[in-house]
Amino acid sequence: MADSKRTKLTPYVVLAFLFAVAGGVTRFTGTPTYDPSLPVRSALPPDVGEWRGIGILFCSNEDCARQYTDAQLAGGRTCLACGSRLDEASPGERASLPSDSLIMRRHYANDRGEWVTVAAVISGRQRSSIHRPEWCLPGQGFRIVGDDPFPVLLPPNGAVRAGMLDVIASAGDGRSASAMAYAYWFCSPHHVTSSQASRLAWMMRDSVVRGRVSRWAYVSIVTFREEATSDHVERIRRFLSVFWPGFNAGVAPEKISKPPSQTGQPTSSAE
């Protein structure tokens, strides 16, 4: 167990050293330029092919903490219970994210009874918005069971493998917990990866070599899963085949390649 933890931490120890070196180099090369370009669209699409979208909003009052859908609100933007402003982020998410971060979330369902929930967090100048899902999922009521054994290759050409986790979602109110699949990836206007170590390496290279600081998006898709089947993988693949072209604004299909990765996972670069 100790060896396993040491192996997972090694890329981050190496990156910490490289960031320190990069900081020294920056003293002589000058401060990198902030690039405000968005890595994805500024809003999730209303609908995605056969999937009808449902907006999700949270009460900004932490003591109330109610959650609503578009249909319940009929166009309103205030909490039906306490009258507070509604937000696309929960109070906990808003409190933990830098003020210049963007967050969006939307639920999609089709006539076959299938559903997925998409969330995206986009960083601003500060870098603390984006992190590994293992750091935030427990605080959102998910218990991570392990890595999902079934791969999901991201469009358009499968050069990047999405991160996949098996999670248990706590239903609360005494109801039984639900088994979920959690797919995720990180992207900037120039790179796509599911590895946090690779993302940090790209950030350092862009800062030192390119002289720029780019915005990154952390995109996730959650859907239900059944034990001993891979139906959830096919569901995510079908959804992604329609969702990706309209939402992932950053990386052109013809530019996706497979550079070496810090962790051995496939990554992608637009340069």
- 133-190 residue pLDDT tens: 887 787 677 889 988 878 888 887 777 889 999 999 876 555 567 899 999 999 998 8
Structure tokens belonging to residue 131: 């992190």
pLDDT of res. 251: 53
85-94, 106-115, 203-212, 254-263 — which one is most confidently predicted on average? 106-115
- How many residues comprise the chain? 271
DSSP string, 93-114: HHHHS-TT-EEEEEEEE-TTS-
* Helix-helix angle 2-29:196-205, to 10 degrees: 10
**Do the beta carbons of residue 16 and residue 196 sit within 8 Å?**
no
The yes-or-no verdict on residue 50 having pLDDT over 90 is: yes
* % of the chain surpassing 90 pLDDT: 34
pTM: 0.80
- 235-253 residue pLDDT tens: 999 999 999 988 975 554 4
Mean pLDDT, the chain, whole residue set: 80
The yes-or-no verdict on residue 267 having pLDDT over 70 is: no
The yes-or-no verdict on residue 23 having pLDDT over 80 is: no
A 10 A CB-CB count for 146 gives 8
Structure tokens belonging to residue 87: 């937000």
- 106-131 residue pLDDT tens: 999 999 999 999 999 999 888 778 88
Higher pLDDT, 140 or 56: 56
DSSP string, 147-175: E-SS--EETTTS-EEPEEEEEEE---TTP
164: CB partners within 8 A, 6+ apart: 147, 148, 150, 151, 152, 181, 182, 183, 233
